[in-house]
Amino acid sequence: PKVTYIEHDGRRFEVDLPEGWSLMQGALLNGVTGIEGECGGSCGCATCHLYVDEAFVDRLPEIAEAEDEMLDCTVAEREANSRLGCQIKMTADLDGLVVRLPEEQS
Ligand code: FES
């Protein structure tokens, strides 16, 4: 499934991620610099913060408690469409997903 990452400076990365990969993994392996993923995806750092395009917000799995707590620790302001990239796994249903990255992660 395809996902488009839009960096804070406007650069766009359109990549095809295998199903089951997280948005954080996909960013790191495709040179998207707006995601750090310091904790390796264990929901412990909040450096994979991203903003999900409104059209997709309702299609994502609900925010679990651990993610919710971490989202309160992001460097860039938390918005209604904020999520952690490591907690969102690609599925066929998310094909075409667009996410925007904050100016800074740490
Ligand atoms: Fe650390 Fe997502 S990579 S919380």
Write out the chain's pLDDT in tens, 106 residues. Answer: 999 999 999 999 999 999 999 999 999 999 999 999 999 999 999 999 999 999 999 999 999 999 999 999 999 999 999 999 999 999 999 999 999 999 999 9
| ipTM of the prediction | 0.99
Minimum-distance ligand 1 atom for the alpha carbon of 41: 3
Minimum-distance ligand 1 atom for the alpha carbon of 39: 1
Count of structural domains within the chain = 1
Q: Which amino acid is at 51?
A: Y
- Residue 27 belongs to a domain: yes
- Between CA 3 and CA 35 the distance in angstroms is 14
DSSP conformational letter for 19: T
DSSP conformational letter for 17: P
Q: Tell how far the Cα of 70 is from the centroid of ligand 1, in angstroms.
A: 9
Q: Which domain holds residue 42?
A: 2-100
Residue 60's CATH number: 3.10.20.30
- Residue 83 belongs to a domain: yes
Minimum-distance ligand 1 atom for the alpha carbon of 85: 2
